[in-house]
Amino acid sequence: MKETVRIAAGQGFWGDLPSAPVRQVHDGPIDYLMLDYLAEVTMSIMQKQKARDAKAGYARDFVALMKEILPACVARDIKVVANAGGVNVRGCAVAVAEVAYELGLMGKLKIGIVTGDDILDRLDDFLSRGLELRNMDTGEPLHTVRDRIQSANAYLGAAPIVEALGKGAQVVITGRATDTGLTLGPLIHEFGWATDDWDKLAAGTIAGHIIECGAQCSGGNCQYDWQSIPDLANVGFPIAEASADGTFVITKHENTGGRVNVPSIKEQLVYEMGDPREYITPDCVADFTTIQLAEAGPDRVRVSGIKGGPATDSLKVSISYSAGYKAVGTLVYSWPDAYQKAQAADTILRARLQRMGLRFDQVLTEYVGANATHGPLAGEPPADVAEVQLRVGVRGNDRAAIEQFTKEIAPLILTGPPGVTGFAGGRPKVEEVVAYWPALIPKNQITANVKFLNV
Amino acid sequence: MKVQLTRLAHARSGDKGDTANVGLIALRDDFYPVLAREVTSARVKEHFRGICKGQVERFELPNLGALNFLLHQSLGGGGTLSLMTDAQGKTFSTALLRMQIDIDEEEANRLGLTTH
C-alpha cells in the first residue's frame, strides 16, 4: 500500500482552463487525475447532441485531452477518473480507445465504463409504481412536467469507480457520478477503506469537495488578501495528498501560481454548503463541523479530524426538463444622466411591450454599473456615473412573444433617450430554458454497471 | 462604533436552486464570537430585504471560524430559470460584507479595530 496517494484535480467544470489537466500530469508527481465535467444542466445538452448523432453525448474535450496526456499517464501509471461520459459513456470510452490505438498503446490500456445512472427510459416505470420523484425544492410531483423531460440521471457514488480500479482500469469513465466520488473512489481503492468506515469515507468526500472546483481552492476567486495572490496567470490546480488514516494535505505543484493556505481552503469548504453537519453523498454523510485545518508549509494545508455518519438509503436524481424560453437585451447609456436615461428607456420599452399585449412569466430589469449584483444594497449610483448598461430579460412559454421582445431593443436607439450605444451584437437570441429538477430515489432502484474496454 | 464586516470577515457564496448560500469566515479567530453574536439570521434577512424573499437559515462552524447562511427564494427562480446577472449568487458574499455591525468601544479596542 502506498503511504500517500496524490489526486490531482484537472477540471472544475466543463469549459475550465484547458491547460490545467495537462500541467497536472507534466509538472510534478501525481497518482490520479480527477476530472469533473458535469454541471447540472450539462446532461440535457448532451442528451440533445445524442439525439442528433448517436455517437455523441459526452464531453469531447476529454477525448482531445486524452490524446495529449495518455502516453504520459500510461508510462507513469497515472490513473484517470472522469465523469466525462455524459449520456453516452460507452461512446466516450470507444473514442478514447480509438485515440489510444492511434497512439500505439495497444495492450497497455484498460478502460473502465461505469453506467446505470441514466434512468430516462425507466421514469414511466418508476411513476407507475408510485415513485413520485417530487422536486426537492418545491415538493411538486414529477408527473407535472413528465412530457417535457429531456434527461434523468441518478448520482452514482464511489463504489463502481472502486470496482473498476480494482479490476485494473487505467482510465475510468462515468456518466452522472458525484464530484466527490471521483476522489473518494481512488482512495477507497488504494487504502482498502471499509464501506462502513464513515469517518474515512467522510474525509475522502471532503477532500473531493475541496478540489472539485479546481483552482477555486488554490487562489482563484479567493477574497482573502486577493491582491497579494501571486501569478494567477500560472495558477496551479489543487492536489489532495491523502494518507490511509483519513488525513490529507491540500497542495499544488511547485513553481505554479496561486496560493493554498488556510483561508483559501476555508472559502472553498463553505462554497455551496447547506447544513454543514449533513453533507449527504451516496457514500456517507460528512460533518463539516469536525474539520481541522493547519498550515503545513508553503502552499500546504493539513486537513484532519473529520467525522462522518452512515449513508442514507436514497440517491439524488438530476432531471432536466424544458421550461419555456428566455431572452436578454442590453444597451449602454453614457454620461451625463446615464442612470436616468437607462431607467427612462426601460419605462418606454415596458410601455411598448404592454401596448403589444405581450405576456411574460417574468420580466427583470437590471442596471449594470449601478445595482446588477448588489441590488438595493448598492444604493443610488453617483450622479456623474460614466455609463450604465440597461439589461432587460424576459421569460415565458410563448416563443413568439419572446421573439417580439428581441425586436424591441435596437429601436430604442433611435426612438428613446440619447447617448446610447452597445448594440453591435444585433438582436438578442431566444434561448430555450432547460430547468433542473432535483429529486430522491431509493437506492435499491439503481444498479451501477461496470464494464471494460481493452485496447 | 459601527464596523463594516469587510474588516472582520471574508466570504464565499454559491447557489442551490433558488437558494443562495453565503459562508462568512472570520479574518481572525477572535473575530468569530463577534460574528456569531451580531450576524444573526434576522439581521441577514433584514440586510437582504428586497433580495431574499424567503427565510434565512444560519449554521455555525466554530472549527472554521465561519457561519453559513442559506437565503431562500433569492435567485429569481434559480439556475437556468433566473434572468439575473448573478443567477448563481456568486456576489452575495460581498453583498453581505457591506453589513455594518455595532461594537462597543471597549471590545473594539481589545480587537484592535479603533485604529485603521
- pLDDT, one tens digit per residue, over B62-94 is 999 999 999 999 999 988 999 999 999 999 999
* Closest in A223, A377, A395 to B11, CB measured: A223
Residues in chain B within 8 Å Cβ distance of A368: 85
pLDDT at B116 over 70: no
State which residue of chain A sits closest to B89, comparing Cα positions: A373
> For chain A, which residues score pLDDT lower than 70?
none
pLDDT of residue A129: 96
Question: Going by DSSP bridges, is the β-strand pair B19-26/B66-71 parallel, antiparallel, or unpaired?
Answer: antiparallel
d(CA A274, CA B67) in angstroms, rounded, equals 11
Specify the pLDDT at position A426. Answer: 84
Domain extents for chain B?
2-110
Q: Which residues on B lie below 8 Å from A434 (Cβ)?
A: 80
User: Cβ–Cβ of A362/B65 closer than 8 Å?
Assistant: no
Q: How far is CA A100 from the centre of its chain?
A: 27
Indicate the pTM of the whole model. 0.96
Global ipTM:
0.98
- Quick check: A270 and B68 in contact, CB under 8 A? yes
Question: What tens digit of pLDDT does each residue of B41-57 get?
Answer: 999 999 999 999 999 99
CA-to-CA distance for A404 and A400, rounded, in angstroms?
6
Residue in chain A nearest B29 by alpha carbon: A263
Beta strands A449-454 and A431-442, pairing class:
unpaired
Q: What is the pLDDT, as a whole number, of residue A51? A: 86
Query: How is residue B114 written as a grid cell?
Result: 479603533
Strand pairing report for A292-295 and A171-174: unpaired
Nearest CA in chain B to A397: B81
First-to-last CA distance in chain B? 13
C-alpha A270/C-alpha B60 separation (Å) is 11
Cα A127-A129-A131 angle, rounded to 5 deg: 55
Domains plus CATH for chain A?
4-117+155-312 (no CATH), 319-436 (3.30.70.2750)
Asked whether the beta carbons of residue A271 and residue B23 sit closer than 8 angstroms, the reply is yes
Of the candidates A247, A225, A257, A224, the residue with the CA atom closest to the CA atom of residue A238: A257
Residues 6+ apart with CB under 8 A from A344: A416, A417
Mutation target among A210, A273, A292, A431 for the B interface, most CBs of B within 10 A = A273
Per-chain mean pLDDT for chain B: 96
- Residue at A114: amino acid letter: V
Q: Which residues of B touch A372 (CB under 8 A)?
A: 85-86
Going from the C-alpha of A75 to that of each of A1, A61, A79, A98, A344, the distances in angstroms are 20, 22, 11, 18, 65
Note the pLDDT of residue A1.
Answer: 81
Instruction: Report the alpha-carbon distance of residue A170 to residue A335 in Å, rounded.
Output: 60
* Interval B19-25 mean pLDDT: 98
**How far is it, in rounded angstroms, from Cα A228 to Cα A186?**
35
